[in-house]
């Protein structure tokens, strides 16, 4: 059986950050990186907006400001982003403050989906040149501990459809899409975890002229009362997309998302952004994923096997949107997600969530007048499954000797830069030089 010092499951930013940090050590370990896809499938590939300001993307259960700022500087030094200019932010921030909302000022870079793919290719090529072995298109299926491992011996075996490998240190960074795999792994290895937090909301799509802030600030992050916020804004050549998930019995359901191409592509004049409410579940219903899955299946049922889309003009009148009246007169642009079903989001979204979202949208319309134009589209559901939170034993995200769980899947990040920073901390743990967590991390 082949062996490597370190196996990394997942080639997203968390896994890549780990690999580069390990290679920079005095005696680099041998590394195998596995990914079930041919390329990393997360946000590095989709739109690739990179945020370099605390607290964007950094869950406070795993990070404090000083630690995040320290690691962000290292991520920035490595990735060398071109930070976008922001204009008129104080005008919008002043309006937000008067409504009890906030606007975060963030240093951002944007590569676009095509630019992100180029970045991934160059990073993977560089790792290859430096001796990292890749198993792309090769999913990790099972992980089990080596019985009686001691001293410097290997501690884990990993099976893929193609082989079995062993390693001393294992990094598991499967992203949001790898939730089920990560939960299965934690259950089989006896790692305690909770998953009680989930974001539920809409994706709003409108003409750029109705949300002109995007010309001043690429991805404006507004925070509203009741844990409602804007997230992942895309413009210039922006599209709404759907992501497919599966219920436990294999039934498909969908969450919407958004991305845009780099400036080299022609603009379609549209902008989209997520509008989300964070839900923290308490006893007795503790699984955010089960709750989200249930809402996703319900929306898919009402949408005839697709997400639902509704015009703001119809929503205000309490009417469902219909294919026959979806376009025309004021409804003067077509949805970019053509598979979405015109319908009634209030039938599918729990009223407590929808009320908070609508209140937030009305505030947003006061800050950026026009965003609630009758033609504006609301797609439902947009669900962010952030919520596998293992109990970590130290600041390098260790959960068992030799086993570290990092990135969005393990709740140590909510964005590209924080995922990369998580990888740096995990690598330092392996190298015995972690400075990010003399303190044990809080369980969420």
Ligand X SMILES: Cc1cc2nc3c(=O)[nH]c(=O)nc-3n(C[C@H](O)[C@H](O)[C@H](O)COP(=O)(O)OP(=O)(O)OC[C@H]3O[C@@H](n4cnc5c(N)ncnc54)[C@H](O)[C@@H]3O)c2cc1C
Give the binding site for ligand X (CB under 6 A): 9-15, 34-37, 40-44, 46-51, 57, 139-140, 173-178, 181, 232, 257, 259, 407-409, 413-416, 419
Alpha carbon 89 to its chain centroid, in Å, reads 25
Give CA–CA dist 166/2, Å, rounded: 7
Rounded to a whole number of angstroms, the minimum distance from the CB of residue 232 to ligand X is 6
Residue (172 or 299) nearer to ligand X, CB? 172
Minimal distance in Å, beta carbon 284 to ligand X? Answer: 30
* Smallest distance from ligand X to CB 97, Å: 26
Q: How far is the CB of 214 from ligand X (least distance, A)?
A: 14
Which lies closer to ligand X via its Cβ, residue 42 or residue 313?
Answer: 42
Q: Are 158 and 9 in contact (CB under 8 A)?
A: yes
Residue 148 Cβ vs ligand X, minimum distance, rounded to whole Å: 26
Using the minimum distance from each CB to ligand X, give the nearer residue, 224 or 231: 231
**How many angstroms separate the CA atoms of 123 and 183, rounded?**
28
The tokens for 340 are: 């979405």
Per the DSSP assignment, residues forming a β-bridge with 166 are 3, 157
Contact in structure between 331 and 375 (CB atoms under 8 Å): yes
Indicate the residue among 314 and 408 with the shorter CB distance to ligand X.
408
Of residues 51 and 262, the one with the C-beta less far from ligand X: 51
In whole angstroms, the minimum distance from the beta carbon of 313 to ligand X comes to 28
Residue with Cβ nearer ligand X (257 or 375): 257
Q: Which is nearer to ligand X, 44 or 368 (by Cβ)?
A: 44
Token pair belonging to 17: 């950050």
User: Which one, 108 or 376, has the nearer CB to ligand X?
Assistant: 108
CB of 282 to ligand X, least distance (A): 26
The answer to whether residues 12 and 407 touch, using CB atoms and an 8 Å cutoff, is yes
Task: Report the nearest approach of ligand X to the CB of residue 222 (Å).
Answer: 17
Given a contact cutoff of 8 angstroms between Cβ atoms, the answer to whether 14 and 413 are in contact is yes
* Three-point CA angle 331, 336, 342, nearest 5°: 60
Distance CA 285, CA 47 (A): 34
Pick the closer one to ligand X by CB: 178 or 390: 178
Question: In whole angstroms, how close is the CB of 234 to ligand X at the nearest point?
Answer: 8
């Amino acid at each position: 059986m082949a062996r490597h010092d370190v196996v990394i499951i997942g080639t997203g930013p968390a896994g890549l950050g780990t690999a580069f940090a390990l290679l920079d050590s005095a005696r680099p370990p041998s590394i195998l990186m596995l990914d079930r896809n041919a390329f990393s499938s997360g946000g590095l590939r989709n739109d690739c907006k990179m945020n370099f300001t605390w607290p964007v993307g950094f869950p406070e259960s795993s990070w404090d400001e000083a630690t995040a700022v320290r690691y962000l500087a290292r991520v920035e030094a490595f990735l060398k982003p071109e930070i976008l200019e922001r204009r008129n932010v104080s005008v919008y921030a002043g309006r937000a403050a008067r409504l009890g909302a906030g606007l975060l000022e963030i240093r951002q870079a944007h590569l676009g989906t095509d630019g992100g793919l180029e970045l991934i290719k160059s990073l993977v090529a560089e790792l290859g040149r430096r001796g990292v072995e890749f198993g792309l298109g090769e999913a990790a299926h099972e992980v089990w501990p080596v019985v009686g491992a001691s001293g410097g011996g290997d501690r884990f075996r990993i099976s893929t459809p193609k082989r079995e490998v062993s390693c001393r240190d294992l990094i598991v960074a499967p992203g949001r899409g790898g939730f089920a795999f990560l939960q299965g792994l934690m259950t089989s290895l006896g790692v305690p975890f909770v998953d009680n937090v989930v974001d539920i909301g809409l994706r709003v799509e409108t003409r750029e002229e109705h949300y002109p802030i995007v010309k001043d600030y690429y991805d404006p992050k507004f925070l509203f009362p009741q844990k409602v916020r804007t997230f992942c804004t895309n413009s210039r050549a922006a599209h709404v997309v759907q992501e497919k998930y599966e219920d436990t019995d294999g039934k498909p359901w969908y969450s919407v998302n958004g991305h845009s191409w780099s400036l080299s592509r022609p603009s379609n004049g549209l902008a989209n952004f997520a509008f989300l409410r964070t839900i923290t579940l308490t006893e007795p219903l503790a699984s955010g994923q089960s709750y989200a899955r249930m809402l996703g299946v319900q929306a898919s049922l009402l949408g005839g096997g697709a997400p639902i889309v509704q015009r703001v003009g119809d929503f205000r009148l309490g009417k469902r949107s219909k294919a026959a009246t979806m376009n025309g007169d004021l409804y003067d642009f077509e949805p970019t997600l053509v598979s979405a079903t015109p319908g009634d989001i209030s039938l599918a979204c729990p009223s407590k969530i929808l009320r908070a979202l609508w209140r937030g949208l009305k505030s947003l319309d006061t800050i950026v007048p026009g965003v609630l134009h009758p033609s504006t589209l609301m797609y439902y559901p947009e669900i962010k499954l952030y919520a596998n939170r293992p109990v970590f034993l130290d600041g390098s995200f260790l959960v068992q000797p030799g086993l570290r769980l990092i990135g969005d899947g393990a709740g140590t990040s909510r964005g590209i830069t924080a995922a990369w920073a998580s990888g740096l901390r995990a690598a330092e743990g392996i190298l015995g030089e972690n400075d990010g967590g003399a303190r044990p991390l809080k369980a969420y």
